[in-house]
């Protein structure tokens, strides 16, 4: 999903034969029992890079199976796609530590980009935090950060193997299946009016009190949410 998103984002930042650094990108992941560190290719310590720099750091191409419709029949084809991440699932999920790490990184970035559109943080998770049951305080530390244009926005993408109806940017936590999902909704940022205004351009019909959360949405919906969140800048 993230590889597809990066691949789609790069050409949207291109013009006149070169990439314009409209976006800076940082990525954090979990390692081992409690380590949180950068997923940026080529560096485990670099925090945020320009999109033109990230484009150069791809890890090559790999074969990806894609379902498509041919003559009314679903067929699986193989395409070569550029990739930047080769992540695997496993280990613990110190999510509070991830939020605190992101807070430190973004606070530093804001000091040099105080007039920027506020950073957008996307938390993709399929499990409960393993370093405390409540994310409220660490998430608030992140969303309390602000540029001259507003507060940091936190979007949460919650993926679970449990069967449940998909939801995209719900305005209430009433239909979410458990307390963990409801907590993620509570810490997700209310979408600002600037986002709601352009939402229809991305096929999104959102209520005025929508929050930046996706629950068990399709891959296409998740990429659309990531695209919608970033392109609004």
Q: What is the pLDDT of residue 97?
A: 96
Spans of all domains in the chain:
1-27+47-86, 93-231
Tell me the residue ranges of DSSP E strands in 61-201: 61-70, 73-82, 120-125, 146-147, 150-151, 153-158, 167-168
Residues 149-176 have pLDDT tens digits of 999 999 999 988 776 778 889 999 998 9
Q: What is the pLDDT of residue 232?
A: 54
Q: Which residues contact 9 (CB under 8 A, 6 or more apart)?
A: 23, 51, 227, 230
Helix (H) or strand (E) holding 15: strand 14-15
HEC readout, 37-70? EECCCCCCCCCCEEHHHHHHCCCCEEEEEEEEEE
CA–CA separation, 57 and 5 (whole Å): 15
Residues 198-207 have pLDDT tens digits of 888 888 888 8
């Amino acid at each position: 999903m993230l590889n597809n998103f990066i691949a789609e984002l790069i050409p949207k930042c291109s013009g006149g034969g070169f990439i314009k650094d409209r976006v800076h990108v940082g990525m954090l992941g979990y390692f081992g029992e409690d380590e949180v560190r950068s997923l940026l290719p080529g560096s485990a310590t670099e925090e945020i890079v320009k999109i033109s720099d990230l484009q150069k750091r791809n890890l090559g191409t790999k074969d990806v199976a894609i379902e498509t419709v041919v003559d009314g029949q679903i067929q699986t084809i193989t395409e070569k796609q550029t990739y930047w991440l080769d992540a695997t699932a496993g280990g613990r999920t110190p999510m509070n530590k991830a939020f605190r790490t992101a807070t430190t990184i973004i606070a530093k970035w804001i000091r040099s980009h105080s007039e920027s559109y506020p950073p957008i943080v996307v938390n993709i998770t399929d499990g409960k935090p393993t370093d405390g049951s409540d994310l409220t305080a660490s998430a608030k530390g992140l969303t309390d950060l602000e540029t001259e244009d507003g507060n940091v926005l936190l979007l949460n993408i919650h993926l679970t193997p449990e069967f449940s109806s998909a939801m995209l940017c719900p305005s209430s936590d009433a239909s979410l299946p458990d307390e963990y999902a409801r907590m993620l909704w509570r810490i997700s940022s209310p979408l600002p009016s600037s986002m709601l205004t352009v939402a229809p351009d991305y096929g999104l019909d959102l209520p005025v009190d929508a929050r930046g959360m996706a629950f068990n949405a399709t891959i296409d919906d998740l990429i659309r949410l990531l695209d919608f969140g970033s392109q609004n800048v």
